[in-house]
Amino acid sequence: QKEVEQNSGPLSVPEGAIASLNCTYSDRGSQSFFWYRQYSGKSPELIMFIYSNGDKEDGRFTAQLNKASQYVSLLIRDSQPSDSATYLCAVNIGGYQKVTFGIGTKLQVIP
């Protein structure tokens, strides 16, 4: 089992819809959870960080964390074509400074 699992997609949603991206992780000791966005040919950039159970909202983005079920999700409301990118889930494994990345979910927002 991979430490951080994501569906590679592509996930296609129409413009204006809610995109839901999911991520599960294996280490119950994980404490920090990140969502990075990566446009094609570019480097990843952080869009959300969460460490407490529950929801964290930032503009059109909401991160949801459920440590008991070991999953973290990212919701993108009112999806725009500019949101089309690969979204990488990253988890701080076991208290170390390094994180483990999932393979990423490719999101396509259809105009």
Partner 1 sequence: NAGVTQTPKFQVLKTGQSMTLQCAQDMNHNSMYWYRQDPGMGLRLIYYSASEGTTDKGEVPNGYNVSRLNKREFSLRLESAAPSQTSVYFCASSEAYLAGGRDEQFFGPGTRLTVL
Do the Cβ atoms of 42 and 104 come closer than 8 Å?
no
Residue 49 lies near partner 1 (rule: CB under 8 A): yes
Q: Which range of residues in 13-21, 55-63, 64-72, 89-97 is near partner 1 by CB under 8 A?
A: 89-97
Q: Which range of residues in 12-20, 61-69, 70-78, 88-96 is near partner 1 by CB under 8 A?
A: 88-96
Do the Cβ atoms of 98 and 31 come closer than 8 Å?
no
Closest Cα partner for 75 from 103, 42, 50, 51? 50
Nearer to partner 1, 17 or 22 (CB): 22
Do the Cβ atoms of 94 and 107 come closer than 8 Å?
no
Residues at the interface with partner 1 (CB under 8 A): 8, 31-32, 34, 42-46, 49, 51, 88, 90, 92, 95-104
